[in-house]
Structure 1
Amino acid sequence: MRWNMRLVAAQRGIWKASDLLRLFAEHGLVISAGKMSGLWSGKPVTIKLADLDVICVALGCRVGDLLIPEPEMVARPGQETARPAADATTPTDVRAVVPRRRDGRSLPPL
């Protein structure tokens, strides 16, 4: 699953985690700065279903807007999980370059 809360918030004009934290508090969800950081900047380790309900109400969205399935990431039985050794004739994986700010803050969603 891919966590998509930051994009959903941006679509509603919310660009700062602190603004979203206040919005959640107005709806009765008070969370720590550390948990908010996990929700805002990446994949949360855990999330309570009750909290997910409040997030959906506060953002005016559905759970399917926040959680995007990635079935291609699941290993299927019988699939090889090990890659063959690379040699000079085999092209290596090229990873996308992700821009980062110099001050350590995250960039707005694309």
Structure 2
Amino acid sequence: MRWNLRMKAAENGIWKSTEMRRRLAEAGLEVSAGKMSALWTGTPTTIRLDDLDVICHVLDCSPTDLLIREPEKVAALRPEVRATADGVPSGDPGFVPRLGRNRTLPPA
């Protein structure tokens, strides 16, 4: 995920974190200078849903405008599986979870 707060703020004429902090305070969300700096300059590791709701209200946007999906990064994390000529994956399959009713019984 990519955090898009500064772009959405700029689209609303907010160019400085102090202005964003003032508008959040007017909407009822008191943000410390340190937390505002972290929200403004980087991607937060966590954010409270109530805080996200106020930010979206102030910027007149939705959470999907602030949190941009990056599917190419997810795809890069997947292990590469190559198929042989008969269509069967080659290499070590690793752990394959068994879901549903086809589970094996525990050892006796």
What is the TM-score when the length of structure 2 is the normalising length? 0.70
Of 15-24 and 39-48, more deviation after overlay is shown by 39-48
Residue 42 of structure 1, CA deviation = 1.1
Task: Map 1:10-49 onto structure 2 (within 5 A).
Answer: 10-49=10-49
Larger fraction in helix: 2
What is the TM-score when the length of structure 1 is the normalising length? 0.69
Moved over 2 A (4+): none
Percent identity, aligned pairs only, is 58
CA distance in 2, matches of 1:43, 1:4: 8
Runs of at least 5 residues in structure 2 that lack an aligned partner in the other structure: 82-108
Structure of greater relative contact order (alpha carbons < 8 Å, 6+ residues apart): 1
| Superposition RMSD in Å | 1.2
Number of residue-to-residue matches in the alignment = 79
Runs of at least 5 residues in structure 1 that lack an aligned partner in the other structure: 81-110
| 1:103 counterpart residue number | none
CA distance in 2, matches of 1:31, 1:54: 11
Code of the residue aligned with 1:66 in structure 2: it is L
